Amino acid sequence: MIHKTTSIRNLIQPSALSSLISKLGASSYATQAASSLQQACEPPSAYSNDEYADIDWNGLGFSVMPTDYMYIMKCPSDGYFQQGQLCRYGNIELSPSAGVLNYGQGLFEGTKVYRKKDGGLYLFRPDQNAIRMQIGAERMCMPSPSIEHFINAVKQTALANRRWIPPPGKGSLYVRPLLIGTGPVLGLAPSPEYTFLVYASPVGNYFKEGTAALNLYVEGEFHRASRGGAGGVKSITNYAPVLKAIHRAKDRGFSDVLYLDSLNKKNIEEVSSCNIFIVKGNILSTPATNGTILEGVTRKSMMEIAKDLGYQVEERTIPVDELIDADEVFCTGTAVGVAAVGSITYNGKRTEYEISPDLVCKKLYSRLVGIQSGAVEDNRGWVVEID
């Protein structure tokens, strides 16, 4: 099956693109690289019959655990994604001048596969991840898989790694789709070749605190994103720059960093890898996405669930000073799930929040888990079964 996708031809004329590739000598290398990858990527003849991998399911954290297979699909300079296939999990070969290595032309997504008590497998709103990748690809001048191709690749990866999906209640299989410029470039330009790759790893809690409340530090020196940048898409370039701030905060005993807007330095935006909400009375507020904040799938789901439960939901500018009077603060994200915040430190002042079973975030998360597990009716079609 061949899929025509949105191409960088919309931004660069075919003649100019061909000339560029020719000048860089990329065509020959791209053909060799594709051939090398094809030879190394032999489809599996059979999957393991083991129900579960032999690991300690009670000791899962959030780190890479190599599984059995990954999925790879190539898109050469003609703008067509070729037929993808499953390969044994392992290293991939890249040119030293690959666009992703030299200019950071890459995106990633994150979704999870869960196992039900009856053994069935399911995904949660994978179409939203596919759409977000398409939006990010347009921003980064990249072609992107269709929603159908994206979901199919995730499903294939999940089924091929079925024995790595934790038992119910023990965690999930975190699936990481990547879209990267693998073709060689020297001058600053879009890559002449792209690779869509999906791998997976079983995971437990994202934070070392487990389910304990988070202690956040408001960062006043470093910023995660700026207006006009790529903070609103899941570009790989958004994450390495925050490592210094995270490292510094964790050295001081904090769980993570809450960033302020880079323009006024007084409005909260998001945490390093998740969105943030504040609760005051019956009102849930979260920073409005304005190009610097990632539109999280869990964020969107929490907002819809909150409305169902009778809460008023606001997307707006939130001054950091409002944290002092908030009844509750919590974070959301695919990797993080829903995590209550126990304290936030800003300018040397620590604001603490009461943690109890009656927290709004716990009610919302309970409804979310209920929908995912089938205990609560899924009237929006969020849960996608894997055949």
234, 250, 265, 300: the active-site residue = 234
102 backbone dihedrals φ, ψ, rounded to 5°: -90, -35
162 touches 152 (CB < 8 A) = no
Please state, as a whole number, how many other Cβ atoms lie within 10 Å of the Cβ of residue 282.
12
156 touches 149 (CB < 8 A) = no
Q: Which of 33, 331, 383 is nearest to 180 (CA)?
A: 33
Spatial neighbors of 255 by CB under 8 A, at least 6 apart, are 207, 209, 214, 215, 216, 249
333 backbone dihedrals φ, ψ, rounded to 5°: 180, 160
Reading the block at residue 262, the tokens are 């880079």
What's the N-to-C CA distance of the chain in angstroms? Answer: 20
Reading the block at residue 224, the tokens are 């995660």
- Cβ burial of 175 (10 Å; 0-12, 13-18, 19+) is buried
Reading the block at residue 115, the tokens are 């196992």
328 residue type, one letter: E
Q: How far is CA 20 from CA 23, 27, 125, 330, in A?
A: 5, 10, 39, 48
Q: How far is CA 330 from CA 30, 64, 180, 252, in A?
A: 46, 26, 32, 21
Q: Which of 141, 100, 98 is nearest to 12 (CA)?
A: 141
d(CA 101, CA 106): 9
335 touches 282 (CB < 8 A) = no
Is 234 labeled as catalytic in the residue annotation?
yes
d(CA 367, CA 302): 9
β-strand partners of 114: 122
Reading the block at residue 177, the tokens are 């789709």
β-strand partners of 385: 122
Active site residues: 234
